[in-house]
Amino acid sequence: MIRQAEMGKRVLDVAVAATMLLLTLPVIVLATLGAAVALRTWPIFSHVRVGRDGRPFRMFKIRTLPTSFSSYAAKYDLDDAKIPSFCALLRRTHLDELPQLVLVLTGRMSLVGPRPEMRHLVDEFDPAFAAKRSSVRPGCTGLWQVSERCNRMISEHPEFDLYYIRHRSLRLDFWILGRTLALLHPAGQASMVSYDQLLQRRAAPLGDAALASCEDREPQLAALDAAHSS
The string of pLDDT tens digits covering residues 195-216 is 777 766 654 333 344 444 444 4
| One-letter amino acid of 6 | E
Task: Read off the pLDDT of each residue in 47-65 and give the average, rounded to a whole number.
Answer: 93
% of the chain residues with pLDDT over 70: 76
Task: Read off the pLDDT of each residue in 90-108 and give the average, rounded to a whole number.
Answer: 92
CB environment 67-90: b (16+ within 10 A), e (fewer): eeeeeeeeeeeeeeeebbeebeeb
pLDDT of amino acid 75: 61
pLDDT at 220 over 70: no
pLDDT of amino acid 86: 94
pLDDT of amino acid 1: 58
Please, are residues 140 and 112 in contact by the beta-carbon 8 Å criterion?
Answer: yes
Residue 195 CA to residue 157 CA, distance in Å, equals 10
pLDDT of amino acid 38: 94
pLDDT at 108 over 70: yes
Task: Read off the pLDDT of each residue in 3-15 and give the average, rounded to a whole number.
Answer: 87
Point out which residues pair with 147 in neighbouring strands. 193
Residue-wise pLDDT for 166-186, tens only, equals 988 898 999 899 888 887 776
Of residues 92 and 210, the one with the higher pLDDT is: 92
Of residues 115 and 155, the one with the higher pLDDT is: 115
pLDDT of amino acid 205: 38
pLDDT at 3 over 80: no
pTM across the whole model: 0.77
Residue 67 CA to residue 200 CA, distance in Å, equals 43
pLDDT at 227 over 60: no
Of residues 188 and 58, the one with the higher pLDDT is: 58
Q: What letter would DSSP give residue 192?
A: P
CB environment 98-107: b (16+ within 10 A), e (fewer): bbbbebbeee
Q: What are the residues whose beta carbons fall under 8 Å from the beta carbon of 46, sequence distance 6 or more?
A: 58, 59, 60, 61
Of residues 165 and 6, the one with the higher pLDDT is: 165
Length of the chain equals 230
